[in-house]
Amino acid sequence: METEELLKSLEEEANLAIDNASQVQEVNEAKAQFLGKKSKLNALMATMRDLSAEGRKELGEKINSFKTALENKVREKIQALEDAKINAMLASQEIDVTLPGKQIMDGNLHPLTKIYSEIEEICSSMGFKVADGPEVECDLYNFEMLNLPKGHPAREMQDSYYITENMLLRTQTSPVQIRTLLAAKGEPVKIICPGKVYRRDNDDATHSHQFMQCEGLVVGPNVTMADLKGTLQTIFRKLFGEDVKVRFRPSFFPFTEPSVEVDFSCFKCHGEGCPLCKQNGWIEVLGAGMVHPNVLKMAGYDPEKMQGFAFGIGIERIAMLKYGIDDIRNFYNDDVRFLKQF
Ligand code: DAH
């Protein structure tokens, strides 16, 4: 066969083999077959020895251009196969950006946190500052300066966890009243203070040795019981609904005079009587009263010039009413099934 024809048929054969290859490996095999040591091309090159210088040059050029063309084709084919592989992979792994994302589990506030945050928000809007106090308190502030001297019988129902003879876990948030008054040095005050309190108590569905209260204290010239009622009414209407009514019943607390037990009209039955209010129409929620003159005097205030009211709300009680929870222990068990409902 003429050299030229041989090259032409080799070229056709090689092109066909490369065109038909569907894997990179097949392309490389074709390359070895047509350009490698045992290829027909190599055999052809061996015949160059017998040619004249001119014939050698001519054949050499033809072989070179055959080689270059084939090498280019091999490179292009390999590139095309690799591109196709990547494209197929991309097509199979296509991301649909319109699909809904994976939902991230975000936590939620504890029901007690929700209640006192709500009270904080309501009271802040009425000009109250939020105060804080320590949970380990001295007897002086927790009892004595609240008009509960040592040996006072009313201490009994609140006797707590003493750390030393004069230090205890606070039994109420009321000592924050004393701390606030002492710091204000005779100036008017208007604060609330949510926080934990501790009592020696038998734990059951409605009692716990640790629970939360929110104290309120307003002291200034001409503060009256009407202000107390209006303030509590505003808080409870915001918490439970605009038609809620507030009722005072006489009571006793050593640090207030007069003292009241505060009820609000049942937000479920609107006063008709239902299981929530025990057919009463009213729900008892907190203690309050006008700050006792002795308390004002001990804290450096002149009761003739300034008066005040105070209240103490049980946070758990409000949360239990608002969310319909019947066992106080649910708040402290950290059971996610319970907590995630709020
Ligand atoms: N500290 C009282 C208690 O724990 C609640 C209380 C009643 C607070 C009357 C007050 C108040 O500020 O005026 O039982």
pLDDT at residue number 122: 98
Do 146 and 196 share a domain, yes or no?
yes
Residue 116: which of 105, 131, 104, 127 has the closest Cα? 131
Name the domain boundary from 36, 65, 92.
92
pLDDT, residue 101, reads 87
Per-residue pLDDT of 277-314, as tens digits, reads 999 999 999 999 999 999 999 999 999 999 999 999 99
Separation CA 120–CA 181 (nearest Å): 20
| 172 shares its domain with 29 | no
Residue 44: C-alpha distances to residues 7, 56, 58, 71 (Å): 9, 11, 13, 18
Residue 253 half-sphere exposure toward CB, CA atoms < 13 A: 27
- Containing 14, the helix (H) or strand (E) segment is helix 3-20
Instruction: Give rounded-to-5 percent helix, strand, coil for the chain.
Output: 45, 20, 35
Distance (angstroms) between ligand 1 centre and the Cα of 131 equals 16
Do 210 and 196 form a contact (C-beta atoms < 8 A)? yes
Query: 273 and 171, same structural domain?
Result: yes
Same domain, 76 and 161: no
Instruction: Answer whether residue 181 is part of any domain.
Output: yes
Of 174, 192, 235, 251, the residue with max ligand 1 atoms within 8 A of its CB, to mutate for a pocket test, comes to 174
Which helix (H) or strand (E) segment is 274 a member of?
Answer: none
Q: Helix, strand, or coil here: 57?
A: helix
Q: Is the CB of 195 under 6 A from ligand 1?
A: no
Mean pLDDT for the stretch of residues 131-145:
97
The residue count of the chain comes to 342
Predicted pLDDT of residue 106: 84
Mean pLDDT over each residue of the chain, to the nearest integer: 93
The protein residue whose alpha carbon is closest to atom 5 in ligand 1 is 312
Residue 110: exposure state from Cβ atoms within 10 A (0-12, 13-18, ≥19): middle
Residues 279 and 156 in one domain: yes
Nearest to 219 by CA among 208, 211, 228: 228
Residue 1 predicted with pLDDT over 60: no
Indicate if 241 and 328 belong to the same structural domain: yes
296 belongs to a structural domain: yes
The verdict on 9 and 149 lying in the same domain is no
Once rounded to an integer, what is the mean pLDDT over residues 98-108? 87
Residue 256 CA, closest ligand 1 atom number? 13
Q: How many domains does the chain have?
A: 2
The answer on 121 and 68 residing in a single domain is no
> What is the sign, positive or negative, of the torsion defined by CA atoms of 310, 316, 322, 328?
negative
141 lines ligand 1 (CB under 6 A): no
105 within a domain of the structure (yes/no):
no
Q: Is 315 in the pocket of ligand 1 (CB under 6 A)?
A: no
| Cα 289 to averaged position of ligand 1 atoms, centre (Å) | 8
DSSP state of 50: G
288 lines ligand 1 (CB under 6 A): yes
Domain span holding position 70? 3-92
Atom of ligand 1 nearest to the CA of 291: 13
Which of 255, 285, 315 to probe ligand 1 with, by most ligand atoms within 8 A of CB? 255
Q: Which of 59, 92, 125 is the last residue of a domain?
A: 92
With respect to residue 67, please indicate whether it lies within any of the assigned structural domains. yes
Residue 314: CATH number of its domain: 3.30.930.10
Average pLDDT estimate for 188-199: 97
Find out whether the beta carbon of 160 lies less than 6 Å from any atom of ligand 1. Answer: no
Q: Is residue 98 part of a domain?
A: no
Is residue 106 in some structural domain?
Answer: no
Best of 148, 156, 168, 172 for a ligand 1 pocket test (most atoms within 8 Å of beta carbon): 172
Tens digit of each residue's pLDDT (9 = 90 or more) over 239-277? 999 999 999 999 999 999 999 999 999 999 998 999 889
pLDDT of residue 150: 92
The verdict on 18 and 128 lying in the same domain is no
For residues 24, 27, 29, 34, the Cα torsion angle rounded to the nearest 10 degrees is -160
Residues 76 and 115 in one domain: no
Q: Please work out whether the CB of residue 311 comes within 6 Å of at least one atom of ligand 1.
A: yes
Q: Looking at the structure, tell me whether residues 69 and 135 fall in a common domain.
A: no
Structure tokens at 218: 């307003």
Distance 267 CA to ligand 1 centre (A): 23
- Co-location of 66 and 185 in the same domain: no
Out of 65, 92, 119, pick the residue that ends a domain: 92
* Atom number of ligand 1 nearest to Cα 177: 12
- The 10s digit of each residue's pLDDT in 106-130 is 889 999 999 999 999 999 999 999 9
Q: Does the C-beta of 175 come closer than 6 Å to ligand 1?
A: no
> Is residue 83 included in any domain, yes or no?
yes
pLDDT in tens, 27-70: 999 999 998 888 888 888 888 888 888 888 888 888 899 899 99
CB contact set of 120 (below 8 Å; sequence gap of 6+)? 130, 192, 194
Whose CA is closest to atom 8 on ligand 1?
312
Is residue 219 lining ligand 1, measured as CB closer than 6 Å? no
Is residue 171, in this structure, part of any structural domain at all? yes
- Tell which atom from ligand 1 comes closest to the C-alpha of 215: 12
